Structures are given as structure tokens and as C-alpha cells.
Amino acid sequence: MTSNINQYDVAIVGFGLIGQICAKVCSQYNLRTLVIESKSDTEFSSKEVSFDDESLRLLENVGLYDALKVFLNKPDFTDIVLTNGKVIQRNPVLHTDNDFPSVCTFFQPEIEKIIREKCKADENIDLLFNNELINFNLNDNQVGLDTKSGNKLKYFEALYLIACDGANSFVRNKLDIESVDQRYSKNWLLVDIWLKNENSLENVFRQICDDKRPTSYISLSNRRHRFEFQLLTGEQHQKIIQKNNIQNLISKWIEPNQYEIENISIQNFRGSFANTFQKNNVFLIGDTAYQMPPYASQGLNTGIRDILNLIWKINLVVNFNCNKNLLLSYDLERAQPIKQTIKSSIALGQLIDSLSMAFQKNMPLEEAIAPEARDQAFGRNNNIEQKESKKGIFSHLQSEMIINRRLSNREITDKQGIACLDKMIGNCFAIFSKKDVRNELAEDIYEKLINLNFKFIFDYSNFNIGPELSDYLEAGEIIIRPDKKIYGLASKGLNINKLVSELLMQIE
């Protein structure tokens, strides 16, 4: 960790939800972190509405979940319906193997307030509000950063810059990184309301294939609800945001005297991705790196997976003197699942549009579905992250399908049945085995693993092992990365010394 006053391990530009969560994760790895945000401390956005179970798992691991949970709502189900109420698809919100609901909704300002306070109280994080990043210079070892607040200029240095400055990113533009447009663009009106009486609306996450205009209705809490309405071609923004027009749109659900409007905005739902997510010591994450229409609610969740992928690697370089080249694996590992997620989010938008159109024209639904949307419609597109290629920091000495799978938190539970794999491993690499493998490791290799804080896990007497991990343990020893992804599996043909040596070659 660096020690000079104006010198940081990591500078984060942009303090939206991605920048906030990223700062907490950096601090957890003991990285001295500067955050630069152009808005004031009292401004909050209201765009995103939900976390999935993987995001909630990360929030728990950085100590944020307990403070946030009172502001999280578990919908009864998510569904896609037609104008006449016919259900096209309905999914219950299940408790997953990560020990969280598959989706939780929230009102963004409430979540942001909590995370900001936690960041302010964190001694590894320095926060600069009302400061715009106006310039930066790169050299091999660090980034020089110029900020502006009113007419006050300041200068900072950091080993790494993480750009979380959103869709119109100054950092991405200055680095001349091109964005590849996915040719999908629709404007939507967003309205958040606050009910005067509790519980007068359904607690669901609903996409409505309305034949007049596709609509989303999402319950955020007992009292708070989000409505999203697609803008029709030629519709004027000024007109659509007028109060009486909004009340008219919402009147199908509730009368104007029963609620207050808290937020109104028009957002462009689009798909695009930067053609690289890294240049020298600068990394792009979240909306800075890509945008996707939010039908599948995956923008924020995907940004959180970027954080999960990147920060342990920066930690290895900064705090464990590992080889900087390992950071190249961020782009290698993230590009493919991100492109797939964008594709699938666009397909879901096309599906909603096609179904709305079919209903309007009284056509059979299957005929109306755009070919690009068929996989989405017929559910063949699940679990994108698990289908990632094996490029990056994974074993290439074997062709095991399990490599790159992320172990769920419930693969180890304590005697009370509480999931505890994450607690057991912490932020380190781990080797799971049936017996103590330390004596089987060559002395120099063992020493290196100790220096890298490796955990050796072989005593399960106080725990229960889940079916997936049990199966792997039958085959041999498993190396797990700090993000809980499987690096590789030692077996008869590939002993643990060889597997560990391969990993060390990739990171040392």
C-alpha cells in the first residue's frame, strides 16, 4: 500500500453505484483509494432498481449487506405479460445457492446513502465530491490526475485508474477507445412514485408487452414503485414528462391522489461496448466500458462482476509484488460474457416489442418473435458467466468443463446450515483437498504459496460439503481463485505441484 499523501494505489473516477462498490472492494484489499466525483455529496441518481444474488453475495463479503438489507425488497415473482394480463413467462424469486434471493429490488438513493456513509467512514478511502477529473497522464508506473473544483485545481497520483465515469466517459474518450454500437436505441420514460398508503400495489417485477407502448412495473418497497414507459416514435420529451400525462399513464394502476411522484427522467436504452477495457494502467468498468438496455436488469450486476474480476488482480500486483502482466487477463476474461449479456438484453427488448406487436395485430405469438429474440424467448440463453471461455488465469493443462465455474457460497455450510465458503476462503487463493497436501508440495512452491496467503482447506469435521465440491474432491485437489472461480483440478494425470506451478507462472 502507498504512503504519500497525494499518492494512491487506486484512483476511481465516478462515484455512481459501481464506483462506490468498487471503492469498498479496493479498501477490503487494503488498497489506498482516491475517489473523484463531479457531483455533490447530496445528489443521488435513480436508474437501477435491482441486485441479483451474485451482487448481494459480494455486498455481504464487503460488509455492506447488513446495513442495506432493510432497504431491499424481494418481489413475489418476475414476469412478462400481455396487455390483457395473459402471462407469457413467470418465474418465482427463489433463494439461490449463494443464500440470497435471485433478485432484490431497491430505491437507488436509499442504497447510495448507506454505501456513501460506509465509504466516508473507511480509512482506506479518500472521497472528493464536487471535483471533476479534467486531465490525466499515463506512464509505465502510474497515472497523474488533474481535478477541478470551481476554479481550484488539484493534482494526484495513483498506480491505477479505474474509470467508473459512466456512459459518456471522459476517460474512455481521452484514451481514444472506440465504442462498438450494437444498433439498438430506444428512449424510455422513468417514473418513481411514493404511495400515501402501504401495499396498495402488487409486489412484482413485471415487463408488460403493451400493444400501445411496452411498459415495466417494478415494486421497490411497500411504498415505492417504478414505472417505465417506452417512448413512441416522434413523441416529444417535453410533453411526455408533464405531470398530467404521467398521471394518465399510471392511472391503470392507481389514482393520482394516492401517490406522489419522486423522480422523472428519460433514459436512452442502448447497446454498445468499448473495443478494449484496459489501456496501460487504466481500466474501464460498468457503463464506462459498455451499455446494455436494462430489460434483464444486468448493467449494474455486470459492473459488479467486473469489480469481482479486477480488484483481486490489482491486489496481487500492488500488495504481493506479482507480475503486472496478469492484469491483461481482465479484458480477456470479461469481454466475452459482457458481449453475450448485451446480446441477450437486446434480445429480451426485441422479444417484448415483438410480443406487443403480435398482440396488436392479432398474430400467433411464435410467428411474431424476431429471430434474434428466439433464444431468449425459449430460455436457451441462461448462465452466460459460466459459459465464459477459459482464456485468462485458468489452467490450460486440462480441458475440464468445471474450470471457470464459480463455487456457490453454499458448497460449504456450517453445522447450523449457514453458507460459509466465502468466509472460509476470504480474499485469498485456496486449495481444497481431502487430505493435507502441504507435505506433497515442493518446498519452494509451498513457500511461495504461503507468501501469497494461500489457504489450505482439508479439515471438514465442523462443516458440510455441497454436492458439487464433494464430486471434485473425489477426483483430486481443486485450486480456487479469490473470486471463487475454479482455476484447475489436480488429478492422477496432473499432480498438484504441476498445477500450482502453472498458476505461479501466470501470476509471478
Applying CB under 6 A, which residues contact ligand FAD? 13-19, 36-39, 45, 47-50, 132-133, 164-166, 170, 190, 267, 286-288, 294, 297-301, 303
Give 186 or 374: the residue with its C-beta nearer to ligand FAD.
186
Quote the Cα angle for 193-63-221, to 5°: 15
Q: Which is nearer to ligand FAD, 228 or 483 (CB)?
A: 228
74 grid coordinates:
424481494
Report the residue number, 53 or 411, with the smaller CB distance to ligand FAD. Answer: 53
Is there a contact between 96 and 224 (Cβ–Cβ < 8 Å)? no
Q: Rounded CA gap, 271 and 368, in Å?
A: 22
Question: Which of 169/506 has CB closer to ligand FAD?
Answer: 169
Cβ proximity to ligand FAD: between 300 and 431 the closer is: 300
Q: CA-CA distance, 349 to 383, in Å (whole number)?
A: 18
Burial class from Cβ neighbours inside 10 Å (0-12, 13-18, 19+) for residue 290 reads buried
Whichever of 50 and 278 has its CB closer to ligand FAD, that residue is 50
Cell numbers that stand for 61 in this block: 463479503
Least distance to ligand FAD from the beta carbon of 396, Å? Answer: 32
- Residue (193 or 479) nearer to ligand FAD, CB: 193
Nearer to ligand FAD (CB atom), residue 284 or residue 489:
284
Q: From CA 319, how far away is CA 26, in angstroms rounded?
A: 12
Confirm if 432 and 474 have CB atoms less than 8 A apart.
no
Nearest approach in angstroms of CB 448 to ligand FAD is: 36
Beta bridge partners of 13: 36, 163
The DSSP output letter for 210 is: -
Q: 291: closest CA among 303, 279, 283, 308? A: 303
Phi first, then psi, for residue 19 (nearest 5°) are -60, -40
Contact 457/423 with Cβ under 8 angstroms?
no
- Write the CB contacts of 60 (distance below 8 Å, at least 6 apart in sequence): 66, 100, 422
Nearest distance from residue 68's CB to ligand FAD, in Å? 14
CB-nearer residue toward ligand FAD: 155 or 320? 155
- The cell 414507459 sits on which residue? 229
| Partners of residue 456 on adjacent β-strands | 431
Joined together, the cell numbers standing for residue 357 give 406487436
State the amino acid at position 148 in one-letter form.
Answer: K
Say if CB 110 and CB 135 are below 8 A apart: no
What are the phi and psi torsion angles at 110 (to 5°)? Answer: -65, -40
We find the least distance from the C-beta atom of residue 170 to ligand FAD, in angstroms, to be 4
Report the residue number, 99 or 306, with the smaller CB distance to ligand FAD. Answer: 306
- Closer to ligand FAD by CB, 284 or 449: give it: 284
Closest CB 205 distance from ligand FAD, rounded Å: 9
CB of 302 to ligand FAD, least distance (A): 7
Identity (one letter) of the amino acid at 388?
E
Q: How far is the CB of 349 from ligand FAD (least distance, A)?
A: 12
Residue 181's alpha-carbon distances to 15, 256, 339, in angstroms, are 25, 39, 11
- Beta partners for 265? 190
User: C-beta of 430: minimal distance to ligand FAD in Å?
Assistant: 28
To the nearest whole angstrom, how small is the minimum distance from the Cβ of residue 151 to ligand FAD? 16
Considering the complex, what minimum distance in angstroms separates the CB of residue 52 from ligand FAD?
7
Q: Write down the least CB distance from residue 105 to ligand FAD, Å.
A: 7
Half-sphere exposure of 82 (CA within 13 A, CB side): 16
